[in-house]
Amino acid sequence: MATQIQYRRGTDTQNDAFTGALGEITVDTTNKTLRVHDGATQGGSNIATVSYVDSEIGSIQANAITFGSTAMSIASSNANIVASVAGTTTLTIAQDKVGVGTSATDAKLTVGGNKSASSWTTNGIGLRLSGATYTDSSTSASGTAVTNHIHAMSIPSLAATNGGVTTTDAATLYIAGAPAASTNMTITNPWAFRVQQDNSYFGGAVTVIGNITGGNLNTGSQVVATGNITGGNLNTGSQVVATGNITGGNLITSGLASVSSIVKTGSTGVGNIGQSDNSFNTVFAKATSAQYADLAEKYEADSKYAPGTVLVIGGEKEVTQCSKYADPSAAGVVSTNPAHLMNSELNAEYTVDLALTGRVPCCVVGAISKGDLLTTSEIEGTATRLLPGSFVAGCVIGKALENYNSKEAGVIEVLVGKI
């Protein structure tokens, strides 16, 4: 070749000290690279070669870039992109799947590998979605957005290549269990799933093979637990089924609550089943138990009468206080605290809870011995001993459970009944 073109050349030290003209090219004989000058910058700018990059910033290969113990490579076997930091694989990208801290599995996203932290917080150490402000820019001023969900999982579809496939259990989100204690660790409260505050809403059924504990649970469908349901309020639009205990708070359901037993907590005598303006229908039970002792029924009276008053059928309404000895129209005694009250929704100006059977305090007068038959007296609203030969069908109120002897009216315990 007859013609030879040569550029300025020199060692890297010489090039570093040289300021070339605009567009001038010099040769760095030490690094075997070219430098382009701009007329102002001393040393110019390197036109990099692979060997120069390897020595200055790391290794560049056909399938990898490496700097120290950090590398980004393409695995030739399956065309995965692999990122490594300090010699440990931190990210693997394969066709339609990603692995963080581990290799990519069949899942779209796999997070794995061990993690050590000097300070743990409620922000999480495995997967963290940091708090942020999300702005709704589509809803008009004073308008209403139907939903604003921050993190969402859509309903997936399951399909099979072969026909007739049945899946026993399928879940959009599956949690295998609570964290297990490992080396030098004790876990006081292991939770598989925990909501720290505010309400949780479930639009479908809630089924727990274990316990439901604490907080409020609102669901539009059924709640099923093979263990216990404890604390907070439970509000469901369908049935509640528990093979264990349901404890504390309020249980509100428009469906069925199915439990093996109902045991009250808190102070005795406090709390109701149902309410006065929204009662249950039929109660099916083998036996019931109550603190109070009589069976009573509501009747319309012609005046307001105190507990213990002896009443007869008559007056302007259904019942009135007695005023005749051995009155065959005897009805009973006004109850103090009925154990069971019938006709409870009777609405009238004056109503009385009339004890029909059982034990109640009763107004009495005269000489009475325990076991005496009692009947109406001439003193209004009081009972007295039924004398031999004075019996008239219907006149007996009950039997005395205490002795009494006074011409003044007093109160004793009486066993009420038509005896």
- pLDDT above 90 covers what percent of the chain? 32
The confidence score (pLDDT) of residue 117 equals 67
Kindly report the length of the chain: 419
Most confident stretch, 109-118, 128-137, 146-155, 403-412: 403-412
> What's the average model confidence in pLDDT over 179-207?
81
How would you label 7-44 residue by residue, b for 16+ Cβ within 10 Å and e otherwise?
eeebebeebeebebeeebebbbeebebbbebeeeeebb
Q: Which DSSP string corresponds to 24-39?
A: -EEEETTTTEEEE--S
Class of domain 294-416: mainly beta
**Which of 2.10.10.30, 2.40.30.30, 3.30.420.40, 2.40.400.10 would CATH assign to domain 8-57?**
2.10.10.30
Closest C-alpha among 221, 214, 179 to residue 195: 214
Please determine whether the domains at 8-57 and 294-416 fall in the same fold group of CATH. no
* Residue 355: band (very low, low, confident or very high) from pLDDT cuts 50, 70, 90: very high
Q: Give me the residue spans of the domains in the chain.
A: 8-57, 64-104, 200-258, 294-416
151 pLDDT band, cuts 50/70/90, is confident
Whether 1 has a pLDDT exceeding 50, the answer reads: no
First to last CA, the chain: 143
125 vs 236: CA distance, rounded Å: 34
Residue 53 has pLDDT above 80, yes or no: no
- Let me know: does 111 contact 127? Beta carbons within 8 Å: yes
Q: How far apart are CA 225 and CA 352, in angstroms?
A: 45
Query: To 5 degrees, how large is the angle CA 356–CA 359–CA 362?
Result: 85
Rounded to an integer, the average pLDDT of 233-254 is: 71
Predicted pLDDT of residue 319: 97
Residues 386-413: pLDDT tens digits? Answer: 999 999 999 999 999 999 999 999 999 9
The rounded mean pLDDT for the chain is 82
Q: Output the six-digit token pair for 228.
A: 């216990």
| Residues 270-310: tens digit of each pLDDT | 777 777 777 778 888 787 778 888 899 999 999 999 999 99
Which of 49, 4, 9, 6 lies closest to 26, judged by CA?
9
